[in-house]
Structure 1
């Protein structure tokens, strides 16, 4: 099976500009491709996961990835998939986020010996002269065509700022710049980026002539069976930074995916052989739980390493299967500072541990019978405990079937 055929078999490809040419480049290790990541936070998240895995797959096949961090485009903000304008960030915040992205990407991409590149579009976008840009690039874009783009259409009702309207031009200019500087012949991105990517291929052809070969391919968005983007929880995004989403919580996110989504996620995100995955397609019932464990372990290993994946799996089994090592459970420390009149109540414990967002939410959890402490249901929302109650190995506080944490003392 060729590299391109495997991408198709895994369900990763959404749209391509010229399939035959893209096959030729990808299958023969001739693709110099880029994917852009705007540093809108100080960590990558599950929404970036598909792109990072694709970069890794193609690099393993001999192709050269360019990871473009949008230090310049982040000054504008991508309107794609948005119903409102993104919050403006300072240069200092953007630069901090750029450094965080660089560190995380190295877990997926080998940047040694010229095998890959990492560039920041701030290096060329921030020095552009506005009038020169209008003359050189603006004349290549039709406003009528831009307004038909999906990324703009969904914003027209609530209002699209002129700032955001420029985003397509900036992204297209990135491709033009990378094509000239580094011989970048392909751009990959999420399916919601199609219009912006076509803008880049068209700009290259109009500026450099019809023989300038530049191609685009979009990656299937990671959606669940309900058509919603995966990677979100009630408490927010699932981050790749262990300080924002612990390896255990990352593991649990994938362990708890819906039955209808598990095989799709294994196929699209893991590096398990397709033959092995095909054999799992017929799994049902308890075997699906085994498939979820495989998915969670493989993805946690990719992001956090095998040791952390093993710890997360052991911790989950300790709670849900009455086996494994409870020492690896996530913990929450309580101290004298948390006490009121020598004790801490159950609502404070739920909020401090992150199992509930507010005391009122915690109270609902208790009164609805969804809270246990060391296996015993807590029915009184006024229940309180001393530090001695959590001495030694601590006690496991659980909310619902799948949310838990061990309460320990300092």
Structure 2
């Protein structure tokens, strides 16, 4: 299977400006390609894994990745479908850019990292309007989907001009680093093709640049991929723990699992098909889901953090927490209803952690012997949870029945 065919099989190709050119560059050549990431936050999310995997896949086949961090475009704001973005300060944009560069470098150590603030900041307003703005008429810009989506609610000139700045990026990289391919999500297609148009008008019709996009990854029910009950899932473990990430993918629906294995892992076609066959035979074992969760956490956080996530998962299944490390207990906290207290009565703790709906119900649970505090069964209504019961003088696990858990952090 050629690289282009593999990209199609994995679902990485939605739009392509010239399929024959794309096949020639990807299958018969070794080229520089680029993908951009705007530093709108301090961390990327799991939604960015689609482009990260594609970067890794092309690099694996000998192509050279140029990763653009949008220190300048992050200051402008890529138009959303709903409303204007909150503008970042220059310091915020550059600080976020540096954090995202560190994140991305873990995935592709030999990538070339560039920040578009280096060249965009040097363009004065008159040059921007004469040298670049003159290449595009308003009708062309209004036809872009990102702009069309905002015409009813309104769009500022700032965000309207975003596509021109991204176009300048590609022209700069094409002329200075021989970047022949740009790719991104399908929501970026209008911006990407604007760059292609600027190259055509500047270099001429015989340019060899190719634009490509991939479909946005949605769940089979149409909802947004990468959203949990608590919000976005981040690649920064301080914002989303390895355990939370593991659980998210472990709970992937059967309808989504094949798509996720193709687009979020580097497993081969043969490995993915074998996993799907096993899962079809024994769906209750969730073999494919476990492998997906394993591969994603390993990719994002490495072997040690993956082992931590697996230990926490096993403990929450078995109810045995005594062997968890302090770091693993901190991970477990993210997956449990938790409260903080210097000391608390067991009945109050059951209600506040939502293990009981009322004190009356809490008494029934205690009376029937259904409540444990760490390794101790509690039968006394007056039992008080203190530092004495805590693992590492800090964490207490309350268990109700076989599968209901909560955590008390001792202050």
TM-score, L = length of structure 1: 0.84
> CA shift at 1:61, angstroms?
0.6
Does the CA-based 8 Å contact 2:340-2:409 persist in structure 1? Answer: no
Q: How does 1:338-377 map to 2 (within 5 A)?
A: 338-339=340-341, 342-343=343-344, 366-367=356-357, 376=371
Does the CA-based 8 Å contact 1:186-1:216 persist in structure 2? Answer: yes
What's the counterpart of residue 117 of structure 1?
112
> CA shift at 1:404, angstroms?
5.8
Does the CA-based 8 Å contact 1:84-1:158 persist in structure 2? Answer: yes
> CA shift at 1:251, angstroms?
1.0
Is 1:11 paired with 2:6? no
Alpha-carbon distance in 2 for matches of 1:286, 1:395? 35
Identify which range, 58-67 or 224-233, moves more after superposition: 224-233
Alpha-carbon distance in 2 for matches of 1:253, 1:173? 38
Q: How does 1:149-298 map to 2 (within 5 A)?
A: 149-282=144-277, 283-284=279-280, 286-287=283-284, 289-298=286-295
Q: Aligned to 2:255, what secondary structure does the other structure show?
A: helix
Aligned length: 386
Alpha-carbon distance in 1 for matches of 2:348, 2:136? 58
Does the CA-based 8 Å contact 2:4-2:23 persist in structure 1? Answer: yes
Alpha-carbon distance in 2 for matches of 1:375, 1:155? 56
Note the alpha carbon deviations across 1:234-255, whole angstroms, 9 max, x for none: 2221111111111111111111
What's the counterpart of residue 99 of structure 1?
98
CA separation of 1:293/1:148 partners in 2, compared to 1, >3 Å: closer, same or farther?
A: same
CA separation of 1:7/1:193 partners in 2, compared to 1, >3 Å: closer, same or farther?
A: same
Does the CA-based 8 Å contact 1:338-1:344 persist in structure 2? Answer: no
CA separation of 1:142/1:270 partners in 2, compared to 1, >3 Å: closer, same or farther?
A: same
Structure 1 residues not aligned, in runs of 5+: 351-358
> Which residue of the other structure, out of 302, 305, 308, is the alignment partner of 1:305?
302
> CA shift at 1:318, angstroms?
2.4
What's the counterpart of residue 377 of structure 2?
none
Does the CA-based 8 Å contact 1:34-1:67 persist in structure 2? Answer: yes
Structure 2 residues not aligned, in runs of 5+: 374-380
Q: CA RMSD in A?
A: 3.3
Does the CA-based 8 Å contact 1:29-1:61 persist in structure 2? Answer: no
What's the counterpart of residue 89 of structure 2?
90
What's the counterpart of residue 378 of structure 2?
none
> CA shift at 1:30, angstroms?
2.0
CA separation of 1:383/1:255 partners in 2, compared to 1, >3 Å: closer, same or farther?
A: farther
Alpha-carbon distance in 1 for matches of 2:141, 2:300? 37
Alpha-carbon distance in 1 for matches of 2:345, 2:214? 49
Is 1:396 paired with 2:386? no
What's the counterpart of residue 27 of structure 2?
27
CA separation of 1:133/1:29 partners in 2, compared to 1, >3 Å: closer, same or farther?
A: same
Alpha-carbon distance in 2 for matches of 1:177, 1:305? 35
Note the alpha carbon deviations across 1:77-100, whole angstroms, 9 max, x for none: 0004x3011111111111110110
Alpha-carbon distance in 2 for matches of 1:52, 1:397? 39
What's the counterpart of residue 311 of structure 2?
314
> CA shift at 1:170, angstroms?
0.6
Does the CA-based 8 Å contact 1:331-1:408 persist in structure 2? Answer: no
What's the counterpart of residue 63 of structure 2?
63
> CA shift at 1:366, angstroms?
4.5
Q: Aligned to 1:302, what secondary structure does the other structure show?
A: helix
Alpha-carbon distance in 2 for matches of 1:193, 1:100? 23
Does the CA-based 8 Å contact 2:16-2:211 persist in structure 1? Answer: yes
Q: Aligned to 1:226, what secondary structure does the other structure show?
A: coil
Q: Aligned to 1:110, what secondary structure does the other structure show?
A: coil
Alpha-carbon distance in 2 for matches of 1:349, 1:241? 32
Does the CA-based 8 Å contact 1:205-1:213 persist in structure 2? Answer: no
Note the alpha carbon deviations across 1:25-62, whole angstroms, 9 max, x for none: 11234221110100001111112111111111111110
Structure with max Cα Rg: 2
